[in-house]
Amino acid sequence: MNDKTVEQLIRAEELRQREGLELIPSENYVSRDVLTAMGSVFTNKYSEGYPGRRYYGGQENTDKLEQLAIDRAKQLFGADHANVQPHSGAQANEAVYHAWCDLGDTILAMDLGHGGHLTHGAPVTVLARDYNFVRYKMKDTATGEIDYDELRETALREKPKIILAGFSAYPRELDYGKFAAIGNEVGALLVADMAHIAGLIAGGVVKNPFDYGFHVITTTTHKTLRGPRGGLILSKGVAGNPLKAPEKTIENIPTLIDRTIFPGVQGGPLMHVIAAKAVAFGEALQPEFKAYAAQVLANASRLADELKDRGFWLITGGTSNHLILADVNKSFGLDGKVVEEVLDSVGLTLNKNAVADDQLPPFRPSGIRLGTPAITSRGLKEDDMATIADWMKRAIDGREDPAALTKLREEVRELALRYPLPSDLRKMRY
Ligand code: DSN
């Protein structure tokens, strides 16, 4: 590169990623093909509109590319329609709310402290100003069971236009059948935010909300799905001409969503990112991706067991997906920030996280959140999980012993370097 300052930062980040282990459950390592597509000349192109209906010329390649991404996404998740243009998961959620709701309408979603996402109605978001969010929670943090009785009572009382099933910090499967029964009883649009588990759904190792009657699924494309940073909206229904405003019916949801993404809340789509989404969807359609998804779960389950054996108190008692939440305040009398920082110093990256009804503040919460999508992409297996759990406990115990931390840092580096980043390999390792 000519810009040596930026090049040096890219090289430093490559080194950080190579020499450490990524345990943040919403991150992953993409393939060389995904990186190549994202760094392609499609970044030069404006393509407002949709395939066959654009506002600029020169679309003979972008039309084919976007249609390929759409077709692969539909095949992967069993959807009738896919909009591959959302720049992020947050914008995907925002678009669905705007497509279906009027200002002030009620949306029933998971409480942030119990695993929901900011865009599920956290009071600090502008969405919370536009809509009336009401919340459901876990009945019991020891098991993680959602309080479905209370959820139904809230739905009957509040008559939400949308019931949203989904999370960014919840280690168990949701009972989509129960959500659907409640949603149908009150006439709500059923939306699942599967950002965290999209790759696990694509790999067939957790349930697909469409199989339970959900109308819309939103997701990011860069977590377990292992694509570029971006968003995606999938839906059931019939796509019509996005230039004409359709009646607000569930059948018309695809058109309502298309019109809300463009021109509603976004301008030009990021065609280089859509190219990389198409590559990632193609990779996820390969039979090997099923083995990857299964290994993510096997690794997470083993890591949870190993952590419990070392005194970590886990929210919901373990995990049924790719992520683990530990209450380090209850376990060791520490806050999540201290633990995040000491683990970062030895090359193990995870994030501090609030636990349900946390008494500590968001910047020093009681918990940590970690997961296995990224380390599984590098090829780590169950026995490596025992090593990682051991390192985590040793780092916490030795947090005031610089020599112990230096030794640990070397051990992490040595193991990490045995597992190249997928983008360092010519062919994706599943
Ligand atoms: N920031 C993402 C996560 O880490 O879960 C959600 O958007």
What pTM does this model have? 0.97
Q: Which residues line ligand 1 (CB under 6 A)?
A: 26, 89, 117, 168
Every domain of the chain with CATH number 3.40.640.10 lies at: 33-284
- pLDDT for position 84: 98
Structure tokens at 180: 């659907």
Q: Is residue 36 flagged as an active site residue?
A: no
What is the CATH class of 33-284? alpha beta
Other Cβ atoms less than 10 A from the Cβ of 67: the count is: 15
- pLDDT for position 430: 58
- pLDDT for position 219: 98
- pLDDT for position 425: 87
From the candidates 46, 63, 305, 310, give the one annotated as an active-site residue: 46
Structure tokens at 425: 């390999």
Q: Is residue 193 flagged as an active site residue?
A: yes
Residue identifier of the C-alpha nearest atom 5 of ligand 1: 168
Q: Is residue 406 flagged as an active site residue?
A: no
List pLDDT tens digits, range 33-50: 999 999 999 999 999 999
CATH number of 289-424: 3.90.1150.10
User: In which residue are the tokens 């705007």 written?
Assistant: 98
From the candidates 18, 19, 32, 48, give the one annotated as an active-site residue: 48
In this structure, is the dihedral angle defined by the CA atoms of residues 356, 358, 362 and 367, taken in order, positive or negative? negative
From the candidates 94, 193, 327, 358, give the one annotated as an active-site residue: 193
User: In which residue are the tokens 């890591």 written?
Assistant: 303
Probe target for ligand 1 pocket from 22, 26, 87, 370, with the most ligand atoms within 8 Å of CB: 26
Q: What are phi and psi of 213, to 5 degrees?
A: 95, 10
- Which residue ranges of the chain lie beneath pLDDT 70? 428-430
- pLDDT for position 426: 77
Average pLDDT over the chain reads 97
Every domain of the chain with CATH number 3.90.1150.10 lies at: 289-424
Residue identifier of the C-alpha nearest atom 6 of ligand 1: 168
Is the Cβ–Cβ distance between 128 and 142 less than 8 Å?
no
Report the alpha-carbon angle 111-114-120, nearest 5: 30
Q: What are phi and psi of 137, to 5 degrees?
A: -140, 175
Beta bridge partners of 191: 164, 216
Instruction: For residues 347 and 17, give the distance between their C-alpha atoms in angstroms, rounded to a whole number.
Output: 9
Percent of the chain with pLDDT over 70: 99
Q: Is residue 223 flagged as an active site residue?
A: yes
- pLDDT for position 429: 63
- Helices of type H across 47-126: 60-77, 89-100
List pLDDT tens digits, range 174-201: 999 999 999 999 999 999 999 999 999 9
Q: Is residue 218 flagged as an active site residue?
A: no
